[in-house]
């Protein structure tokens, strides 16, 4: 029997954000927006969902006079992502 995929990570944009964050120490909002080609509003909503789940930490500060939002994957998020990849791997192998 195949395991259930994490519905939070099964969203294309949330999975893209997690995929980007897994390979860097942190990423700012502008970088994530450019890489995912998402709108600012949609990206913001998805980041909030990942933050609420404890998958990422968000830090807001100022860079000069401009606000800067940076995101970092948490230990919980890293484990969830790795688990998601393993379950997905199981789907592929069982085909």
For residue 75, what is the domain's CATH number? 1.10.10.10
| Residue 6 forms part of a structural domain | no
| Residue 65 forms part of a structural domain | yes
Provide the whole-model pTM.
0.91
| Residue 87 forms part of a structural domain | yes
The domain tally of the chain equals 1
What is the percent of the chain where pLDDT is above 70?
99
- Per-residue pLDDT at 47: 98
**Nearest 5 degrees, angle CA 58-CA 59-CA 61?**
150
| Residue 70 forms part of a structural domain | yes
Using alpha carbons, select from 69, 1, 87 the residue that is nearest to residue 29.
Answer: 69
Residue ranges making up the domain that contains 18: 12-93
| Residue 83 forms part of a structural domain | yes
Do 55 and 77 meet the contact criterion of CB atoms below 8 Å apart? yes
Mean pLDDT value across residues 62-74 = 91
Do 59 and 9 meet the contact criterion of CB atoms below 8 Å apart? no
- Per-residue pLDDT at 42: 97
12-43, pLDDT tens digit by residue? 999 999 999 999 999 999 999 999 999 999 99
């Amino acid at each position: 029997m195949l395991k259930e995929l994490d519905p939070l990570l099964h969203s294309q944009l949330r999975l893209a954000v997690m995929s980007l964050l897994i390979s860097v120490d942190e990423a700012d909002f502008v970088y994530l927006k450019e890489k995912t080609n998402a709108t600012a509003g949609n990206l913001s909503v998805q980041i909030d969902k990942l933050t609420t789940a404890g998958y990422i930490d968000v830090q807001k500060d100022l860079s000069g006079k401009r606000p800067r939002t940076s995101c970092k994957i948490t230990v919980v998020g890293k484990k969830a992502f790795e688990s998601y990849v393993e379950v997905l791997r199981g789907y592929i192998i069982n085909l």
